[in-house]
Amino acid sequence: MAKPLLCGRMEIGRVYNIGASAISNNWVYKGILSYEDAVIVSGKPYWPGGLVVALALPPGSRGRQLDERELAALEAEQGAGVRPMKKGELPPLVGAQEYAELFGVTQVAVGQAARGGAGQLPEADYILSGSNLWLLDTVLDSAEVTMQKSRKGLWVLRDEVAAALREGRYEGPGSFLSQRGNKAQSASEGA
């Protein structure tokens, strides 16, 4: 399967020459984009690349103008070969929170292993909006190495979590959109 084009807030801002904050504050608010169309990985939304490209208005009109050069550069950086239109067309993805749940460790341990350079974790398939993302297949293909290189054998693959991720029924840490800013503050005050 060809690697799909994926876009987080920063990547959408890049190909449309707008600030990343405009995605949540403007595009989602006005219904141009929906979180329902995004996959949520480690609490952050990522949209299928074809959907993002389809949001462009015709050249010369006012509004959402796609920067074709930035789009080509982004596709090259990601090694993307397809532009999926729906989140159901995307392969299972893993961020730091899902990685931690997969191996029964903390998210901090995942971050340290990713930065450690000892080869415990595979290279991320994507770096989107500042976050490492892996295809589930990449994580599972290197699971033996990950477990062998763990200190004291603490990293143990949890097959039930892998199955839930593969089948699209994972509801553990990272599977819900993280509240940020004023919404997060008001939610914590109400608790």
State mean pLDDT over 109-127: 90
Lowest pLDDT segment from 87-96, 107-116, 138-147: 107-116
Taking phi over 0 as left and psi of -120 to 50 as alpha, with beta for the rest, 17 belongs to left
Say if residue 188's pLDDT is above 80. no
pLDDT of residue 61: 85
Rounded CA separation 59/65 (Å): 7
CA atoms within 13 A on the CB side of 186: 3
Q: pLDDT tens, 42-66?
A: 999 999 999 999 999 988 888 899 9
State mean pLDDT over 113-124: 88
State mean pLDDT over 87-92: 96
Give the whole-number percent of the chain exceeding pLDDT 70.
93
Confidence of residue 119 (pLDDT cuts 50, 70, 90): confident
The DSSP string of 48-117 is: EHHHHHHTPPPTTSSS----HHHHHHHHHHHT--B--SSGGGSPPEE-HHHHHHHHT--HHHHHHHHHH-
Q: Match 């931690």 to its residue by tokens.
A: 100
Look over the chain and give the mean of its residue pLDDT values, rounded to a whole number: 90
Say what the pTM is. Answer: 0.89
